[in-house]
Structure 1
């Protein structure tokens, strides 16, 4: 006897999680007269045959439910070994036998995700390191994220074939911060974070302060630098040490003799690097007091000579 049945099961695959439930649902409407028989097989081995009674394979006892009216099958307490091809065979009361096949993929839930990295002091352009993402369960995809954005391969960033490990060769100041690894499969996903410390700098040293400025009330000069760890600062005025060792240089009362070159030097005690910048603090002149101020500055300069 011939058979039909194309389309009685979806194309699939059906996805299930370990310890969960999967439904292999047919598109058949309940017939007016019950099917003469319904049978399901797994990888060509029969698991249940239903005629006037149900005969179930011992390995599926209490784990399957057959909807006799539609021939749909429900599998419970799923196991990884339940992954495979399922075939249904239906003999209607009159008409041709119907058959359909569908694949079930069972995945273990992902758990215990973590990122490991060698313990070492990292210095920009001098050190290299790697980050490895590990987790339990069936991992389909691994995605790396840096500071909330997808991490892309580059001359310094290289991924292993399965994306499990990312190599930073050598580290850059942009690598300082939070790395995330997101591992996922069709039934679960986990994201784990790792804070990577890259010592760098000082870079981009600058002095923030008003110039030109009129003599009078005090003024503060702020030295800033991009540095990990934070930089130490020192100041000189016209080449002379001021004994000020903080990022803030405060002039309580701005006098004519306070005008000149203020140099800030930033030092990093880990990278052993230092960088300097200067600000020429000069007077803002408006006649007639400007003329008097400039004459005074000139007189002071002559007297110093």
Structure 2
């Protein structure tokens, strides 16, 4: 009795081993893969076996079974699937995204089993980027942009700022599966252009660019003085400020407004009375902010060079006079010896 039980157990284990070996020896090959919506998908077995019966399932649900030349298709797949009753190859037409899943083929004659994960994707079309607004005052609000498509499945979103990829940070938030971009407290360094790139394994698309107008300033002012700081010379002062839109620039001297606007203040044939503090005032009528910068200008008298020339001439004259004096002393002594 024990021998019979041991023999039966051995036969059962051998059968399971043969089944597993047979299953491992066959694999499913899909063409095309990944598949596009509407395509005809063929799932063939490699190497091609010779089978008399079998079944196909996806996600645990029956698609069809066959025995000999007869096949039975589940109504929901009627007209869309066929099977090669000799090799077990399954053909699925008009593929849908819902057809994605784990496909399993099982055969009892011979004992075979194989499985494969199949993906069907809908191509991407019409990528659109929309922003809540495009004009901002710096540090005053946040920019929100969303990316959408007219069609497509299994979408992956990538944001670009110019030629650089946008990544999440303290000021940049990517939400809704990365389809939404938020820039917190927009600054002058966030004008874009921004683009959204959407992709899946069978297609990709990029939106048209969207740029932001950031209103800021005036700040970071600079003032330069060019020319000679001497009486009678001409001077040019140049003022600049970071501002959008460009700041309105005006000038003042000793606190009194000058009748001059713009980045340049030009002074001709200056006098000592024009020495003192000069101010450049910048105003942005969109932010209603102003800023100023001062420079102390000192105009000095000229004439240092002529004074230097007079001293040189005086030294020369003294040297010549010394030579004549020496000759007057030397001549009488010579006559005395004669």
Aligned to 2:140: 126
Question: What secondary structure does 2:120 align onto?
Answer: strand
Unaligned 5+ residue runs, structure 1?
293-305
Q: Distance in 2 between matches of 1:138 and 1:242?
A: 66
CA distance in 1, matches of 2:114, 2:221: 72
In 2 relative to 1, CA 103–245 (structure 1 residues): closer, same or farther, beyond 3 Å? same
Residue among 283, 290, 294 paired with 1:278: 294
Report the more deviating stretch, 51-60 or 154-163: 51-60
Output the aligned Cα RMSD.
4.2
Q: What TM-score do the two structures reach when normalised by structure 1?
A: 0.70
Residues 233 and 29 of structure 1, relative CA distance in 2, 3 Å threshold: same
Select which of 12, 21, 35 maps to 1:16.
35
Contact 2:69–2:85 (CA<8 Å) still a contact in 1? no
Q: State the partner residue of 1:263.
A: 279
Distance 2:86 2:233 in 1: 93
- Post-superposition offset of 1:83: 1.5
- Structure 1 residues 96-111: aligned runs within 5 Å: 96-111=110-125
Comparing 52-61 with 168-177, greater Cα deviation is found at 52-61
In structure 2, the partner of 1:88 is 105
Please list every run of 5 or more consecutive structure 2 residues that lacks an aligned counterpart in the other structure.
1-14, 309-338
User: CA distance change for structure 1 residues 82 and 30 in 2, over 3 Å: closer, same or farther?
Assistant: closer
Structure 2 residue matching 1:5: 3-state secondary structure? helix
Question: Higher relative CO (CA 8 A, sep ≥ 6), structure 1 or 2?
Answer: 1
Q: 1:5 aligned to 2:23?
A: yes
Please say if 1:190 is aligned against 2:205: yes
Structure number with bigger Rg: 2
Displacement, 1:218? 6.4
The 5-angstrom pairing of residues 60-209 of structure 1 reads 61=79, 72-73=89-90, 75-89=92-106, 96-119=110-133, 121-136=135-150, 137-160=152-175, 162-192=177-207, 193-207=209-223
Counterparts of 1:244-259 in structure 2, within 5 Å, are 244-247=260-263, 249=264, 251=266, 253=268, 255=270
Contact 1:182 1:189 (8 Å CA) reproduced: yes
- Report if the CA contact (8 A) 2:198-2:206 is conserved: yes
Per residue, is there more helix in 1 or in 2?
2
